[in-house]
Structures are given as C-alpha cells and as structure tokens.
Structure 1
Amino acid sequence: MSLHDDAVLVLKGYEGQEDLRQVYVGHLETHPDGMWKACRDGHVTASALVIDSGRGRVLLTLHKKMRMWLQMGGHCEPADGTLEEAALREATEESGIAGLTLLPGGPVRLDRHHTPCAWHLDVQYAALAPAGAVEAISDESLDLRWFAYDEVADVADDSVVRLVRATRDRL
C-alpha cells in the first residue's frame, strides 16, 4: 500500500472535523501527488505533539522558518510507509527523543494552514515521551522547550492550543 493510499484510509476513518476531513480526502482524490512538497496546490503533512503526561507538559519547537512555537512535524518523505510513521519520524527527528510512542486511536485532529511553500493539510498525532526523555535541538529549530499545558496559549497560536486540548481529551 502506498503512503497516499494509507492517508486516504486514515482520513476516511477519522471521526470528527467532517468538513475539513472531506477537503483532505477530496484533495488526495484529485491530486495523486498530494502527499509531496512538490504539489503546489497543497500537500498532506504529518505532525505530532510530544507530551510528558506525567508532568503535565508538552515539548514545542521554535521553528526556524516559521518563527513560531509549534508541535514537531513536516513533510512526508518517500521512505514513510504510513502517516503514523511520518509523524513519528518527524517528532523523533525534531525532538531528539528516542522511544516516542504515538497515542492509540489515530490522528488527534486536522489543521489546514498556509505556509511559504503551499497549503499544509496537517494530520496531527500525539506522541508520548518516555520517562526521563532528554530533548535535543535539530537543525530545523531555533529552540526547543517544555511548556506546562496552561502555558501553551501564552506562546503558541490557536492551532497548537486546540491540539493540546484535543490531546488532553484523548488522554
């Protein structure tokens, strides 16, 4: 099964955000290249909010290009077999934390936003950090920092706040 096929199945099975879900599915049905950065009409991306539920905090990256505090995530790559693999790869690369595990139940939410390269149709997961996890800044970050759940609204935009809320509801 291709990554494109996996994304269609994941999105068709996703419950919630019906209008936005239909936009994603429709995009993939009309764009065979809709998973890749080269698709200028927009592309599916995968992200994961790294959480330390035992300490009530999330790890955010100060994204080098966007200059915003965001969850880990980005473009899918040809080696990614599934959206979950893409989200976990991005979270691991950008956080520097080995041993992350995605929360069960599939994506936590969807978020469509415009970036300098195109529209991102982001499929958002949540990843649990193992006990004692130590983060390491990647080349894509200006900073990497843990924030208490209630601090996120002070540093991040509404999309991240909604992702934290949805993740906490899932926990």
Structure 2
Amino acid sequence: MPELTDDARSVLRRMDPADPGQRALRDRFVAHLEAHPDGVLRTCRPDHVTASTVVLSADASRVLLTLHAKAGRWFQLGGHAEPGDGTLLAAARREAVEESGLDVDLDPVPVHLDEHAVPFCGPDGDAHHLDVRFVAVAPDGARHAVSDESLDVRWWPVDDLPNPDLAAMVALAVDRVRVTDPR
C-alpha cells in the first residue's frame, strides 16, 4: 500500500496543526511513515496510522459516537486502513459509513491527531494507533445505525461527552465547522 502511505504523508504535511502538541504529533506521524513504508497497516508494530471521523450534527451541537465493543468506551468513528481504501480520507469515510450507516462527506484536512495505546489490537497487545481525525457534518434528519463493531451508536451534546478525552478533538471539529459554515 505505498500509495496510501504516500497519501497519508502528503495529507499530514498539508495540515496546519492547531497548537505545538498537534504539530509535534504531525511531525511524529510523518517520521513514522517515512521510516515504515507499511506504516498505515495494522501489521506495522508497534505503531500504525489509523483514520477516523468526528461526525457532527448539522448545527454542530451534537457529535455521533460509537460505544466500541472491544474497549467498552465511547469514541469517534474510525479504524484501520484497508487495501482498497486508496487514501487516508477514503479510509476514514469508509469507517464512518460502516460504523454509522451515514453517508457523509469529510473535510479533506485533518482536524486532530492522537497517539494512544491499544492493548486489544493484535496478539501481543503492544500496538499504538497514530490516529488521523477528519470531520464531517451529518445532514439534518440523518438516521444512523449500529454496526457489528459497536455496542451502540448515539448522538451526544458536544458539551456533555461521555469520554472527556474527546473534548479537545470535538472542540476543534466544532470550530472547523463553524469557520467553514458560520451559523
């Protein structure tokens, strides 16, 4: 998947990080991809790039989260790249559609980056996701579904999240949406 690795590097290089912490993560992700041609594959250890989507309601007052079956916690929609994805954006969109049933268009510029340990990812439990997060806005009245990968999928108020670790990401997504579509 050299095309996907090249695309991920290009997407990250075009990103204008929101703060020094995000800039450091972007640089780390790019360095990882330069050192590991397979850096977008789940088999790359201990780190691999993943793609996810922060889906906001049309008025940006709610965020759609999934109760992850393996982690038992609420997260944004997302996961591993697959061979047919072609681009990181395509991987994020595919995961969003698979996990929510919503057909959404994503902003092509990542909104947030995060590195986190994933003890349930792989047999040795030492994996780290280098997660590249995009944002999408669901159309008014959109109806979501629950996939086999989730225990539940639900809308949450952006100011009352079930997982406080998501607050910075959601705030950046809301800011991005309000800048591109001020209401």
Q: TM-score, normalised by structure 2?
A: 0.87
Identity %: 52
Q: Which 5+ residue runs of structure 1 have no aligned equivalent? A: none
Partner of 1:151: 160
**Structure 2 counterpart of 1:97, from 102, 105, 109:** 102
**Structure 2 counterpart of 1:18, from 20, 23, 31:** 23
CA RMSD of aligned residues (A): 1.2
Q: TM-score, normalised by structure 1?
A: 0.93
Q: Distance in 1 between matches of 2:164 and 2:28?
A: 22
Q: Distance in 2 between matches of 1:131 and 1:103?
A: 18
Q: Which 5+ residue runs of structure 2 have no aligned equivalent? A: 122-126, 178-183
**Greater CA deviation, 127-136 or 43-52?**
127-136
Partner of 1:115: 118
Partner of 2:9: 8
Secondary structure class of the residue paired with 1:34: coil
What do residues 11-70 of structure 1 show as CA deviations (whole Å, max 9, x unaligned)? 111111221111101101111111000111210000001110326111100000011100
Preserved contact between residue 58 and residue 140 of structure 2 (Cα < 8 Å): no
Count matched residues. Answer: 166
Residue 103 (structure 1) shift: 2.7
**Residue correspondence of structure 1 range 126-165 to structure 2 within 5 A:** 126-152=135-161, 155-158=162-165, 160-165=166-171
Q: Distance in 1 between matches of 2:44 and 2:66?
A: 25
2:134 counterpart of 1:125: yes
What do residues 133-167 of structure 1 show as CA deviations (whole Å, max 9, x unaligned)? 11110001011111111111xx1132x11111001
Secondary structure class of the residue paired with 2:45: coil
Structure 2 letter corresponding to 1:82: T
